[in-house]
């Protein structure tokens, strides 16, 4: 190999040295970088060929144990230090119509045309390029994949297409999402969700804050909501808001989750992330849920987070409540008018000091004369009535809890809006999910740990477009036999037939809105819930 490399280096230098003797330093560096890529690529090619020779020939197909046919196959790669082609034996099973290259496995090489080292650089570029501009790493991330391509070309001399970078980023993002889905599957089966090492406990505070919100993304099938969740320990340090002068327990290191999914699936995501932040251990005694008034949030918060011995405090974002007051004030007195402000401002103080009751009294006293005002008052009354329990601001303030959901709104902007809702963009759901998930990883400070799992080696199953396992359909028999809540649980969690509920049980469940179930709690008298999803979190986490 030494001889071969000597020849290669000699040839590479011979071709460029005359031109280098008259070049300025910028050109010199560029040309030498190119020569370096040729030489180092050649070195990797030869070392890999040596490795391939030492590998044993697989005797049989690992799937069907049938005979394997040996072929020689070349695989060109764009790498971190050079471009090269791996020449290696490839073993083909005619029965499975599938082949394997032992060298690829030995080298830890995943699918695609980019080497693992370069893949890591490319997937991380969003963050790096923004940080170089001295901005919040996520506030100004690029609108397209093109800047990543340019930066790789500029810094490493490696040439990639936009499409290659897109596929790579989406594949690695899909791997991150598959890891979350695997955790959710473990949670549904009642298995330990995370290893001991993966759990990030706060040592100095027993309070975990959870904020949930949604943001619309233009998908190929129309506008679709992505749900965003931000979690962080609260306190013991205090933070004083410079605008309002209010003091509350400060947010600790935050972590994010994001999914283009239905409410129930989002809550499983929240649950596994909360477990990762210490829920279910003695480290977390109180969970504070902060959100706007959206029903899908409050319907399930306690069911998913209220484990035995854990207090759940639900707080409606005060700024969202203000927006309802402004809608009424503007409708009554003219948008942006002084009279509108004179009506709104005292009520904001009342809400802060006494909760929703004085606001509802003030709304009831109004005698609107326009349809617009009638509507605004009606909306506000519904909102304040429905969320009155979540607006006990005097009590929350006394406990120094935050009453604004600014953290998750910032996550919505950084994770989703800054990247996915640029003008003219349309996304496939798996693509938007993968990119948003990758951004959440960066923002949660888990990038290095994620890369230790070798996400670039992940190959999605050949027959599945998305790494998320398909949702099994509910048979007619189940649909008729179970209350709606059971059908929902069955469809999402269960692969096995469910036991029939009695007609009496079914009738009771459907005649009133079903109360939120705690995980592991029994519904309808029969232990259906527990049997269906086969989970008993309360005994697992004790
Ligand atoms: Zn086979």
pLDDT in tens, 477-506: 333 333 333 333 333 333 233 333 333 333
Question: What is the CA(105)–ligand 1 centre distance, in A?
Answer: 17
Question: What is the CA(67)–ligand 1 centre distance, in A?
Answer: 7
Question: What is the CA(115)–ligand 1 centre distance, in A?
Answer: 27
Question: What is the CA(98)–ligand 1 centre distance, in A?
Answer: 7
- Specify the pLDDT at position 534: 27
Instruction: Give the residue-averaged pLDDT of 515-522.
Output: 36
Question: What is the CA(68)–ligand 1 centre distance, in A?
Answer: 8
Name the residue among 207, 101, 198, 185 with its Cα closest to residue 459: 101
Q: Supply the pTM of this predicted model.
A: 0.72
Question: What is the CA(461)–ligand 1 centre distance, in A?
Answer: 16
Instruction: Give the residue-averaged pLDDT of 234-260.
Output: 88
The residue with greater pLDDT, 152 or 524, is 152
- Specify the pLDDT at position 523: 36
Question: What is the CA(106)–ligand 1 centre distance, in A?
Answer: 20
- Phi, psi (deg, nearest 5) at residue 238: -110, 150
**What is the spatial distance between Cα 378 and Cα 357, in angstroms, rounded to a whole number?**
16
CB atoms within 10 A of CB 85: 14
Indicate the pLDDT class of residue 322, thresholds 50, 70 and 90: very high
pLDDT (tens digit, 9 = 90+) per residue, 401-454?
988 877 777 887 877 777 777 776 777 777 788 888 888 888 888 888 888 888
Question: What is the CA(95)–ligand 1 centre distance, in A?
Answer: 5
Q: At a CB cut-off of 8 Å and minimum separation 6, what does 245 contact?
A: none
The residue with greater pLDDT, 39 or 507, is 39
Looking at 148-157, 225-234, 341-350, 485-494, which range is the least confident one?
Answer: 485-494
Question: What is the CA(16)–ligand 1 centre distance, in A?
Answer: 49
Q: At a CB cut-off of 8 Å and minimum separation 6, what does 476 contact?
A: none
Indicate the pLDDT class of residue 460, thresholds 50, 70 and 90: low
Question: What is the CA(94)–ligand 1 centre distance, in A?
Answer: 7
Residue 361 exposure: Cα atoms within 13 Å on the Cβ side? 8
Whether pLDDT at 144 is above 70: no
User: In 406-416, which positions are buried (b, 16+ CB within 10 angstroms) versus exposed (e)?
Assistant: ebbbbbbbbbb
Beta bridge partners of 258: 228
Name the residue among 508, 530, 526 with its Cα closest to residue 518: 530
The first and second tokens of residue 534, run together, are 């086969």
Whether pLDDT at 162 is above 90: no
Question: What is the CA(97)–ligand 1 centre distance, in A?
Answer: 7
- Specify the pLDDT at position 124: 66
**What is the spatial distance between Cα 391 and Cα 354, in angstroms, rounded to a whole number?**
9
User: In 316-347, which positions are buried (b, 16+ CB within 10 angstroms) versus exposed (e)?
Assistant: bbbebbbebbbbbbbbbbeeeeeebeebbeeb
Going from the C-alpha of 431 to that of each of 27, 76, 176, 259, the distances in angstroms are: 39, 26, 12, 11
Question: What is the CA(108)–ligand 1 centre distance, in A?
Answer: 22
The residue with greater pLDDT, 443 or 267, is 267
Question: What is the CA(73)–ligand 1 centre distance, in A?
Answer: 19
Question: What is the CA(71)–ligand 1 centre distance, in A?
Answer: 15
- Specify the pLDDT at position 345: 92
- Specify the pLDDT at position 473: 32
Question: What is the CA(93)–ligand 1 centre distance, in A?
Answer: 5
The first and second tokens of residue 527, run together, are 């232990």
- Specify the pLDDT at position 315: 92
Whole-number percent of the chain with pLDDT over 70: 79
Q: 146-156 and 162-188 are packed helices; what angle lies between their axes, rounded to 10 degrees? A: 110
- Specify the pLDDT at position 461: 54
Whole-number percent of the chain with pLDDT over 90: 29
Question: What is the CA(69)–ligand 1 centre distance, in A?
Answer: 11
- Residue 223's H or E segment, with its range, is strand 222-240
Question: What is the CA(472)–ligand 1 centre distance, in A?
Answer: 28
Question: What is the CA(464)–ligand 1 centre distance, in A?
Answer: 19
- Specify the pLDDT at position 380: 93
Tokens 């890529």 found at: 37
- Specify the pLDDT at position 85: 93
CB 229 within 8 A of CB 212: yes
Tokens 């650089």 found at: 121
**What is the spatial distance between Cα 121 and Cα 123, in angstroms, rounded to a whole number?**
6
DSSP symbol at 370: S
Mean pLDDT over each residue of the chain, to the nearest integer: 77
Going from the C-alpha of 300 to that of each of 145, 213, 295, 435, the distances in angstroms are: 37, 14, 9, 27
pLDDT (tens digit, 9 = 90+) per residue, 332-345?
898 888 999 999 99
Question: What is the CA(83)–ligand 1 centre distance, in A?
Answer: 32
Whether pLDDT at 541 is above 70: no
Question: What is the CA(109)–ligand 1 centre distance, in A?
Answer: 21
Domain range annotation of the chain: 2-109, 163-317+404-542, 318-388
Question: What is the CA(298)–ligand 1 centre distance, in A?
Answer: 51
The first and second tokens of residue 242, run together, are 């410079």
- Specify the pLDDT at position 506: 32
Question: What is the CA(462)–ligand 1 centre distance, in A?
Answer: 15
Question: What is the CA(61)–ligand 1 centre distance, in A?
Answer: 5
Question: What is the CA(114)–ligand 1 centre distance, in A?
Answer: 27
pLDDT (tens digit, 9 = 90+) per residue, 65-121?
999 999 899 999 999 999 999 999 999 999 988 888 889 988 888 888 889 888 887
Question: What is the CA(171)–ligand 1 centre distance, in A?
Answer: 26
């Amino acid at each position: 190999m030494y001889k071969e490399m000597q020849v290669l280096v000699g040839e590479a230098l011979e071709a460029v040295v005359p031109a280098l003797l008259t070049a300025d330093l910028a050109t010199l560096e560029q040309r030498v970088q190119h020569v370096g890529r040729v030489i180092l690529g050649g070195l990797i090619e030869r070392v890999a060929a040596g490795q391939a020779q030492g590998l044993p020939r697989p005797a049989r197909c690992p799937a069907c144990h049938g005979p394997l046919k040996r072929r020689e196959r070349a695989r060109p790669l764009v790498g971190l230090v050079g471009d090269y082609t791996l020449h290696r034996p490839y073993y083909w099973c005619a029965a499975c119509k599938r082949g394997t290259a032992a060298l690829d496995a030995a080298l830890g090489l995943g699918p695609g045309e980019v080497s693992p080292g370069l893949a890591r650089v490319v997937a991380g570029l969003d963050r790096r390029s923004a940080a170089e501009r001295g901005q919040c790493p996520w506030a100004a991330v690029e609108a397209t994949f093109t800047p990543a391509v340019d930066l790789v070309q500029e810094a490493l001399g490696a040439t990639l297409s936009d499409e290659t970078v897109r596929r790579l980023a989406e594949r690695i993002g899909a791997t991150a999402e598959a890891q979350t889905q695997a955790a959710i599957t473990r949670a549904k089966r009642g298995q330990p969700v995370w290893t001991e090492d993966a759990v990030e406990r706060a040592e100095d505070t027993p309070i975990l804050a959870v904020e949930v919100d949604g943001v619309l993304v233009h998908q190929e099938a129309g506008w679709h909501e992505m749900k965003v969740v931000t979690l962080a320990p609260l306190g013991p340090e205090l933070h004083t808001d410079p605008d309002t002068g209010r003091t509350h327990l400060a947010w600790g290191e935050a972590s994010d989750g994001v999914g283009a999914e239905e409410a129930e699936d989002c809550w499983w995501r929240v649950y596994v992330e909360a477990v990762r932040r210490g829920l279910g251990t003695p480290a977390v005694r109180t969970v504070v849920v902060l959100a706007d008034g959206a029903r899908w949030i409050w319907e399930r918060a306690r069911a998913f987070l209220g484990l035995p011995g854990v207090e759940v405090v639900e707080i409606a974002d005060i700024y969202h409540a203000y927006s309802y007051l402004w809608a009424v004030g503007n409708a009554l007195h003219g948008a942006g008018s002084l009279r509108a402000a004179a009506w709104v401002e005292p009520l904001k103080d009342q809400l802060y000091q006494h909760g929703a009751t004085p606001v509802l009294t003030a709304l009831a006293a109004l005698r609107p004369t326009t349809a617009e005002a009638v509507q605004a008052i009606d909306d506000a009354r519904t909102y304040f009535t429905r969320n009155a329990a979540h607006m006990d601001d005097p009590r929350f303030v006394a406990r120094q809890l935050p009453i604004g959901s600014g953290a998750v709104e910032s996550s919505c902007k950084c994770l989703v809006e800054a990247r996915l809702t640029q003008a003219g963009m349309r996304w496939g759901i798996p693509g938007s999910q993968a990119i948003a998930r990758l951004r959440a990883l960066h923002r949660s400070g888990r990038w290095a740990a994620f890369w230790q799992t070798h996400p670039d080696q992940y190959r999605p199953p050949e027959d599945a477009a998305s790494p998320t396992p398909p949702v099994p359909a509910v048979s007619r028999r189940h649909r008729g036999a179970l209350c709606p809540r059971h059908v929902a649980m069955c469809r999402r969690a269960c692969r096995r037939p469910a036991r029939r509920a009695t007609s009496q049980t079914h009738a009771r469940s459907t005649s009133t809105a079903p109360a939120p179930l705690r995980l592991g709690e029994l519904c309808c008298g029969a232990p259906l819930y527990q049997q269906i999803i086969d989970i008993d979190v309360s005994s697992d986490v004790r």
